[in-house]
C-alpha cells in the first residue's frame, strides 16, 4: 500500500483513452441493431386527444412504436418514483415529455416516422414561475394534486423546516438586521457524451443493457420495476462514462431502449443528439433564497432566518432530496446561535430538475457568501474579518444539531490569503478552528 | 444517392459506400468502425471528432465525406506505431490530461497538428490553437502541461 501513498499514479484507463481503444456505449455496434427515437410533447402542458401511427407505420424500415401500454411493470421511476417512462394518462406536463418511441432501421427513417405521427393535443395553460404556481387558483402542473407544492412529509406537509434556538430572540439581540434576496438559475451538465443506451437479448435470453448511468445499482432496481423482471434476467453493463456531473443520476434512455427490445426483439441503440440532451434531460433547478441576518456591532452573528423556494419543473427528480441538503447548509460554515430555515419544492411546467455537482448545497452557498459580504458592508467591517470571527470552530453546532468536528475554514482562509499574497492582521492570523477562546 | 469513396486512413487504403449527405464522422464511425473520433455535438462546436486531413486538424462532423476522396486521414488510432505510444500520448497519461476521456482523441489530434506547425508553442498559443476542443471534466491545465512537456522533450 505504501508504494502508492503520496505518488501520482496514472489513471487505470489512461492508456486506452490516449490510444482510442476505450469503448464508450455509443461505440458499441450489434449486428441487426435498430434505432430508437422518441415522440415528445410539443407543448408545455396538454392532454393528448388522439394519436395515430398509421402513416408513420407505412414508412419502409419502420418496425413499430412503443407506448405506455407496452410497459410490463411500473410506469414510474426516479428517487421519488414520480417520473413516468412514457406519458401514462395522455397528459403531458413539460415540453419534450416522452409520449411514445419508434423503432426503425436507421435514424433518418425513425425521424421521418416521427414527423408522420398524427397527434391531436389540447394545449392547456402552463405555469413557469414558482411564485405564480403557489398562488391560490394557479393552474395545477399535476391535475390530481391539491397544489403545486411537493409534499415533503405525507400526508400534507409541504415545508422542510430546520430550527436551532429561538430565531426571534436572536434577532432582538442584534444591533443590525440585514436582508437580501438571491436567485440562481437553471443549468445543464453538458457532459461531452450525450445520453445513450445499447440493449439486446443475449444467447441466454437475458436482457443486456449497456448504460452510461452514474448510479448503476439504483437504476438497475428501477429498471426491474419498470420491466417487471428480476435482477437475474438483466445484465446492466456500465462503467465507461463520457462525463456525467450529476446528469446521469437519472435514467434518460435505458428504460425506453429496454422496452423496445422487449416488444420487438431486435437489438437497439437509443442515443440523444446534443440538442435532445440539452432540451430534455434533467437540470440543476432554479432557486430563490431570502436571507435575514442579525449581527452585533463587533461582527458576531446572532441569528439567521432563511426562506428557500426550489423549482423542480414538472417532476420531482431528486429535487426534494437536494432541497434538504440546501436547507441544511444554506447558513454557511458560520456559528449562528439561532437559525430557522424554511424550504419548499415547487412544480412548474419546466424541464425536470434533479442532481448536479454539489447537489443544491452550492445554491445555498452562493447566496450565503454574497449575503455575508453585504453584512460586512453594512457593518463597515472587512469581509475577511467577519468570516474569521464567525467561522465554525470544533464543537459548534449546525442547524440540525450536528456537531462540527475537524473544522477548517480558518486554516483554508489563511492559506488562501497567503497564496493570494494578502497579509492578514495578526488578530486574524492568531485565530484557530480548534476553539473560539483562542481569539 | 450512394457513392464508393476511397481514401487513405491511418496509412492504409480504405473504401466505403457512402450517401451524399454522410459526414466524414458518419463514415469513420458507422462504416469503417473507427470509433476514436467522438460524436460530441455533431455541429462543429466541441472538437471531440477532430481528425487530421492532409496534415490539418478538421472537424469530421462538418467535413462532407465525399470531399476526402483520395486524401490522407489520420485518427488517434494512427498516432501510435506498433502499439507504442507517441511522446504526446505518454505526456497525456503522465500529466493526467484525461478524466472521462471523451474529448481526448480530439485533443490529441489538435495538439499533434499544433506541434507539427509550431514545435515550441507559448502558453497563449496553445490556448488559442486548442480553443476549439472542449473538455467538461476540466483538464485544460493538465493538457497544456502535457503539450509544453512534449515540446520541451522534443529538443
The pLDDT tens digits along chain A (439 residues) read 678 888 888 888 999 999 999 999 999 999 999 999 999 999 999 999 999 999 999 999 999 999 999 999 999 999 999 999 999 889 999 999 999 999 999 999 999 999 999 999 999 999 999 999 999 999 999 998 999 999 999 999 999 999 999 999 999 999 999 999 999 999 999 999 999 999 999 999 999 999 999 999 999 999 999 999 999 999 999 999 999 999 999 999 999 999 999 999 999 999 999 999 999 999 999 999 999 999 999 999 999 999 999 999 999 999 999 999 999 999 999 999 999 999 999 999 999 999 999 989 999 999 999 999 999 999 999 999 999 999 999 999 999 999 999 999 999 999 999 999 999 999 999 999 998 864 4
> Strand A301-313 vs strand A338-347: parallel, antiparallel, or unpaired?
parallel
- Determine whether the interchain pair A17/B98 forms a contact, defined as Cβ–Cβ distance below 8 Å: yes
**What is the domain class of A25-122+189-272 according to CATH?**
alpha beta
| Cell numbers describing residue A344 | 419548499
Judging by DSSP bridges, how do beta strands A46-52 and A91-92 pair with one another? antiparallel
Q: Nearest C-alpha of chain A: how many angstroms from B42?
A: 7
CB B25 within 8 A of CB B42: yes
Question: How many angstroms separate the CA atoms of A266 and A264, rounded?
Answer: 6
Pairwise CB contact (< 8 Å): B77 & A193: no
Contact (Cβ atoms closer than 8 angstroms) between residue A308 and residue A187: no
- pLDDT tens digits along B32-61: 999 999 999 999 999 999 999 999 999 999
Residues of chain A in contact with residue B89, where contact means CB-CB under 8 angstroms, are 18-19
Residue A172 to residues A175, A274, A303, A334, A380, Cα–Cα distance (Å): 8, 54, 9, 19, 21
Q: Judge: B98–A243 Cβ closer than 8 Å, yes or no.
A: no
What Cα–Cα distance (Å) separates residue B24 from each residue in A56, A109, B37, B71, B78? Answer: 30, 20, 10, 12, 16
Contact B102 A27 (CB under 8 A): no
Residue A390: CB partners within 8 Å, gap ≥ 6?
A299, A300, A301, A334, A335, A336
- Smallest Cα distance from B125 to chain A, Å: 22
CA-to-CA dists, residue A386 to A35, A276, A358, A369, A376, angstroms? 59, 46, 25, 11, 6
- Measured between alpha carbons, how far is A243 from A252 in angstroms, rounded to an integer? 15
What confidence tier does B155 reach under pLDDT thresholds 50, 70, 90? Answer: low
Find the CATH number of the domain harbouring B40. Answer: 3.10.20.30
Shared-domain flag, residues B70 and B97:
no
Please tell me whether residues B48 and B112 are part of one structural domain: no
User: Scanning the structure block, which residue is given the C-alpha cell 481503444?
Assistant: A21
Q: Do B100 and A29 touch (CB under 8 A)?
A: no
Boundary-marking domain end, from B51, B78, B105:
B78
What span, in angstroms and rounded, lies between the C-alpha atoms of A326 and A341?
10
- Do B6 and B65 share a structural domain? yes
Residues in chain B: 155
**Single residue among B29, B50, B78 that ends a domain in this structure:** B78
pLDDT at res. B81: 80
Angle between the N-to-C axes of helices B140-153 and B104-117, in degrees from 0 to 180, rounded to the nearest 10: 40
Task: Tell me, yes or no, whether B74 and B112 share the same domain.
Answer: no
Q: Kindly list the domain boundaries of chain A, sorted by start residue.
A: 25-122+189-272, 160-187+283-429
Within 8 A of B43 by CB-CB distance, chain A residues are: 274
**How many domains is chain B built from?**
2
B11 and B71, same domain (yes or no): yes
Q: Say yes or no for a CB contact (<8 Å) between A8 and B137.
A: no
For residue A38, the distance in angstroms to the closest alpha carbon of chain B comes to: 19
Of B38, B92, B101, Cβ closest to residue A13 = B101
For position A317, what pLDDT does the model report?
94
Mutate to test the interface with B, among A18, A30, A195, A198 (most CBs of B within 10 A): A18
* B109 lies within 8 A of chain A by CB: no
Chain A residue with the nearest C-alpha to that of B80: A19
- Closest residue of chain A to B108, computed from CA coordinates: A18
- Write out the three cell numbers for A60: 419502409
ipTM comes to: 0.96
Question: Across the interface, do B94 and A245 touch by the CB < 8 Å criterion?
Answer: no
Is A18 in contact with B40 (Cβ distance < 8 A)? no
Q: Which of B50, B78, B106 is the last residue of a domain?
A: B78
Q: Please identify among residues 16-75 of chain B the ones whose CB lies closer than 8 Å to any CB of chain A.
A: 29, 33, 35-36, 38-43, 46, 48, 75
Q: Are strands A118-123 and A176-184 parallel, antiparallel or unpaired?
A: unpaired
Q: Note the pLDDT tens digit of each residue in B54-74.
A: 999 999 999 999 999 999 999
B105 and B136 belong to one structural domain: yes
Domain with B147 in it: what CATH number? 1.10.150.120
Task: Give the CA-trace dihedral at A37, A38, A42, A46, to 10 degrees.
Answer: 170
Q: Helix-strand-coil percent breakdown of chain B, rounded to 5?
A: 40, 20, 40
Cell 418514483 sits on residue: A81
Cβ-Cβ contacts under 8 Å, A273 against chain B: 42
Contact B77 A20 (CB under 8 A): yes
- Give me the pLDDT at residue B154, please: 82
The C-alpha atoms of residue A134 and residue A311 are separated, in whole angstroms, by 11
pLDDT value at residue A232: 97
Q: Residue B108's domain spans which residues?
A: 87-153
The region, left, alpha or beta by phi > 0 then psi within -120 to 50, assigned to residue A226 is alpha
Nearest neighbour of B136 by CB, restricted to A27, A29, A243: A243
Instruction: Verify that B97 and B118 share a domain, yes or no.
Output: yes
Of the candidates A190, A273, A274, which has its C-beta nearest B136's C-beta? A190
d(CA B10, CA A129): 54
Which fold does the domain A160-187+283-429 belong to in CATH? Aldehyde Oxidoreductase; domain 4 (3.30.365)
Amino acid at each position: 500500500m505504501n508504494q502508492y501513498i503520496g505518488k501520482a499514479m496514472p489513471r487505470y484507463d489512461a492508456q486506452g483513452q490516449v490510444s482510442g481503444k476505450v469503448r464508450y456505449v455509443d461505440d458499441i455496434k450489434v449486428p441487426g441493431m435498430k434505432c430508437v427515437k422518441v415522440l415528445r410533447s410539443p407543448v408545455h402542458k396538454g392532454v393528448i386527444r388522439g394519436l395515430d401511427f398509421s402513416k408513420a407505420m407505412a414508412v419502409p424500415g419502420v418496425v413499430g412504436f412503443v407506448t405506455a401500454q407496452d410497459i410490463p411493470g411500473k410506469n414510474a421511476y426516479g428517487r421519488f418514483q414520480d417520473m413516468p417512462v412514457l406519458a401514462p394518462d395522455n397528459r403531458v406536463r413539460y415540453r419534450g415529455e416522452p409520449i411514445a418511441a419508434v423503432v426503425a432501421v436507421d435514424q433518418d427513417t425513425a425521424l421521418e416516422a416521427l414527423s408522420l405521427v398524427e397527434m391531436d393535443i389540447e394545449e392547456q395553460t402552463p405555469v413557469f414561475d414558482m411564485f405564480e404556481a403557489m398562488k391560490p387558483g394557479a393552474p395545477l402542473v399535476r391535475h390530481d394534486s391539491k397544489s403545486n407544492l411537493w409534499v415533503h412529509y405525507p400526508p400534507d406537509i409541504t415545508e422542510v423546516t430546520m430550527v436551532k434556538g429561538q430565531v426571534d430572540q436572536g434577532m432582538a439581540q442584534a444591533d443590525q438586521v440585514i436582508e437580501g434576496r438571491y436567485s440562481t438559475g437553471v443549468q445543464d451538465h453538458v457532459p461531452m457524451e450525450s445520453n445513450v443506451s445499447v440493449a439486446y437479448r443475449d444467447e441466454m435470453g437475458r436482457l443486456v443493457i449497456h448504460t452510461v448511468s452514474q448510479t448503476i445499482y439504483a437504476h438497475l432496481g428501477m429498471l426491474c420495476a419498470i420491466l417487471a423482471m428480476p435482477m437475474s434476467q438483466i445484465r446492466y453493463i456500465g462503467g465507461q462514462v463520457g462525463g456525467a456531473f450529476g446528469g446521469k443520476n437519472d435514467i434518460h434512455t435505458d428504460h425506453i431502449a429496454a422496452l423496445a427490445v422487449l416488444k420487438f426483439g431486435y437489438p437497439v441503440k437509443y442515443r440523444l443528439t446534443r440538442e435532445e440532451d440539452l432540451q430534455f434531460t434533467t437540470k440543476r433547478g432554479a432557486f430563490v433564497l431570502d436571507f435575514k441576518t442579525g449581527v452585533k456591532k463587533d461582527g458576531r452573528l446572532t441569528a439567521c432566518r432563511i426562506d428557500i423556494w426550489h423549482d423542480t419543473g414538472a417532476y420531482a427528480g431528486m429535487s426534494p432530496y437536494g432541497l434538504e441538503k440546501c436547507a441544511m447548509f444554506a447558513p454557511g460554515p458560520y456559528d449562528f446561535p439561532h437559525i430557522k430555515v424554511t424550504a419548499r419544492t415547487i412544480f412548474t411546467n419546466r424541464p425536470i430538475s434533479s442532481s448536479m455537482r454539489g447537489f443544491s448545497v452550492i445554491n445555498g452557498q452562493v447566496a450565503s457568501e454574497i449575503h455575508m459580504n453585504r453584512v460586512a458592508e453594512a457593518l463597515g467591517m472587512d469581509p475577511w474579518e467577519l468570516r474569521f470571527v464567525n467561522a465554525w470552530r470544533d464543537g459548534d453546532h449546525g442547524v440540525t444539531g450536528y456537531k462540527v468536528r475537524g473544522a477548517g475554514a480558518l486554516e483554508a482562509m489563511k492559506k488562501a490569503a497567503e497564496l493570494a499574497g494578502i497579509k492578514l492582521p495578526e488578530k486574524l492570523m492568531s485565530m484557530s478552528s480548534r476553539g473560539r477562546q483562542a481569539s | 444517392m450512394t457513392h464508393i469513396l476511397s481514401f487513405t486512413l491511418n496509412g492504409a487504403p480504405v473504401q466505403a459506400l457512402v450517401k451524399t449527405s454522410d459526414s466524414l464522422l458518419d463514415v469513420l464511425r458507422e462504416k469503417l468502425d473507427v470509433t476514436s473520433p467522438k460524436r460530441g455535438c455533431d455541429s462543429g462546436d466541441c472538437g471531440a471528432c477532430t481528425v487530421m486531413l492532409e496534415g490539418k486538424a478538421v472537424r469530421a462532423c462538418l467535413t462532407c465525406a465525399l470531399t476526402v476522396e483520395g486524401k490522407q486521414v489520420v485518427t488517434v488510432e494512427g498516432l501510435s506505431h506498433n502499439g507504442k505510444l507517441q511522446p504526446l500520448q505518454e505526456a497525456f497519461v503522465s500529466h493526467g490530461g484525461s478524466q472521462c476521456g471523451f474529448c481526448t482523441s480530439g485533443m490529441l489530434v489538435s495538439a499533434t497538428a499544433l506541434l507539427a506547425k509550431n514545435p515550441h508553442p507559448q502558453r497563449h498559443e496553445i490556448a488559442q490553437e486548442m480553443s476549439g476542443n472542449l473538455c467538461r471534466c476540466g483538464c485544460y491545465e493538465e493538457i497544456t502541461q502535457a503539450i509544453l512537456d512534449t515540446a520541451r522533450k522534443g529538443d
